[in-house]
Each structure stands twice: as structure tokens, then as C-alpha cells.
Structure 1
Amino acid sequence: MAYTIDRYPDQGSPRLGAMNLHPIAESVPRARRWFRKFIAPYNPACSVDDCALMISELVTNAIRYGRADDPWTVRVEWFREGTSLRVEVHNPGFPANVRLRHPDANDAHGRGLLLVDSIAESWHSGPSRFGGTVVSFVVADAWPS
């Protein structure tokens, strides 16, 4: 199996869903599709397409830069925090120094976090509670108050 989905979080939990994806290119569109499918019942007021785009960028980075000696997965989780939506993407390996890059016009890569920075209310990176690195973003006013 290339992925697992957690559709039924605990009652009262702010976590709305989660998925584990193998670090392969096919996981990027799969993450977009499954996020759209499993966020829909919560009727967010924010742009699900924008969120799916940011998830694509972060899952791509996690696959590209995640490292582990053992087989590993990329974990994506999404949470409701008041009126905001927070999405986390976890990848294995030592906590990376994640930073915004400012690529030249001819650079083929390096724009993912710039895109997240321009769309999300905020973003953060640091050590993951699963080990490795987590990069998260927050979309404000994802639900009416």
C-alpha cells in the first residue's frame, strides 16, 4: 500500500485527518486528492485549492529532502484551531534548517516555500514530534467564527 488515511479522528480532537505517504512522486497528487476529499465534509470557507497547492509543495520538499536509513513515509496532518486550519507535513531525518530561498529566474527549484509564504497566514518549521522535520502552515478564517 502506498498510503494510509486516518479519516476518523478522536471525538473532540482538533485533528481532522492524517495520511502517511511513501516518498515517491505519485504521493504528491495523491496528497492533494485525499486532502480535498477528506476536508470537504468540514466545509471550510478557505480555498481548498490553495491549501492543496501548499500541501503539494511541502510534500514535494519532504520527499526531496527527507532522509532515513529505514523505509520511511511522509506524514500529513490537518487540524482545526478555532477558525483557522493548520496543516503539518512531517519527514524523517535530522531536523533541517528550512528557510525561504530566493532563486534566480533560471533556477528550476526553490519556490515552494515562497509560494506557501505568500498564501498562508503563517508557516513554521522545526523538529517533528515523530523525529525529523515538520513544516506547517496556517490558513486564517478557514471557518466562520
Structure 2
Amino acid sequence: MAYVIDRYPCEDSPRLGAMTLHPVPESVPRARRWFRKFIAPYNPACSVDDCSLMLSELVTNAIHHGHADESWLVRVEWFRDDTSLRVEVHSPGFPADVRLRHPDADDVHGRGLLLVDLIADSWHVGPSRFGGAVVAFVLADAWPQGE
């Protein structure tokens, strides 16, 4: 399987990096590792552990709930917007199918977006520019003002 990682260290671009993953369970730990490796040079002040957890949840959801008639990929991108970090996970499917659940204590699944909702400063779902849906989260104070 071929995996693609793009890094854009140029300060002129708010996009810090991107990766394309196959929709298989092994892609979840791979996404965490790559994100940690490629965000580190930017020295974010936010918790990289929290970002990795939220990224894991969104990639897991994309893999489990994404659907298409042909082969497809999950695309992850992360951006710096002033002092904020925005992480996007793109997959096939409909934005209307993405919903925040409040599972019962004995439910095995359904906590991914709930964790994102609790940790992130904001998050959203919408149509992806690649087709399908994008789920994104934002950490507002990922870098100090003026850096």
C-alpha cells in the first residue's frame, strides 16, 4: 500500500502538512505517528497528545463510516490560522450523516465526536472540497500571539 505525506514548511502557506491514508485500521496509529512527527518542528503550545487523540477519533470515524462505490482514501490536513491549529479529516459520505452522539455507559462505540467536542475549542462538519464530508477541529491557542 502506498501512503502519501505532504509537508509544507513554507511560512507563506497556512497548511502545515497533509497525509493520505487507506481506509484500514492500521491507518489510525500511522496517522497519529505522522502527525506527531510533522507537527513537532512547528512547536505548538497546545497538547499534541490531545490533538493526536482527536485525530485518531476522526480518522477512525472516517474509516468506519466512510462509504463510496469505488476505492477511496482518507485525507488529513492541518493548518495554522494565526494562533490556531485546525485539523481536517476528509472522507466520502454525506456531512448530514455525521452527528454527535451521547452514548449510554455500556455502549462500546459512539464517543469520538463527543471527545472532540469536549477537548477542541470548536469543531465543524461540512462538505469536503475533495467530495464527501470533512470533519475538522480547532485549538485556538496553539501558538502564542506574534510567533
Q: TM-score range by the shorter chain?
A: over 0.9
Counterpart mapping for 1:73-112 below 5 A: 73-112=73-112
In structure 1, the gaps of 5 or more residues are: none
Letter in 2 for 1:118: L
In structure 2, the gaps of 5 or more residues are: none
Q: CA deviation at 1:11?
A: 5.4
Q: CA deviation at 1:59?
A: 0.1
- In 2, Cα distance between the equivalents of 1:2 and 1:102? 36
Match of 2:129 in 1: 129
Is contact 2:8-2:15 (8 Å) kept? no
Q: Using the aligned pairs only, state the percent identity.
A: 81
| TM value normalised by structure 1 | 0.96
- In 1, Cα distance between the equivalents of 2:68 and 2:99? 21
Is contact 1:94-1:131 (8 Å) kept? no
| TM value normalised by structure 2 | 0.94
Letter in 2 for 1:77: E
Q: CA deviation at 1:2?
A: 4.0
Residue by residue over 1:112-145, the C-alpha shift from the partner in whole angstroms, topping out at 9 and shown as x without a partner, is 1110000000000011111000000000110000
Match of 2:63 in 1: 63
Residue by residue over 1:69-124, the C-alpha shift from the partner in whole angstroms, topping out at 9 and shown as x without a partner, is 11110000000000000000000133343221011111100001110000000000
Letter in 1 for 2:50: D
Residue by residue over 1:4-39, the C-alpha shift from the partner in whole angstroms, topping out at 9 and shown as x without a partner, is 100136651100000000000000000000000000
- In 2, Cα distance between the equivalents of 1:141 and 1:51? 13
- In 2, Cα distance between the equivalents of 1:43 and 1:21? 24
- The size of the alignment, in residue pairs, is 145
- In 2, Cα distance between the equivalents of 1:2 and 1:66? 19
Runs of 4+ in 1 over 2 A off after TM superposition: 8-11, 93-97
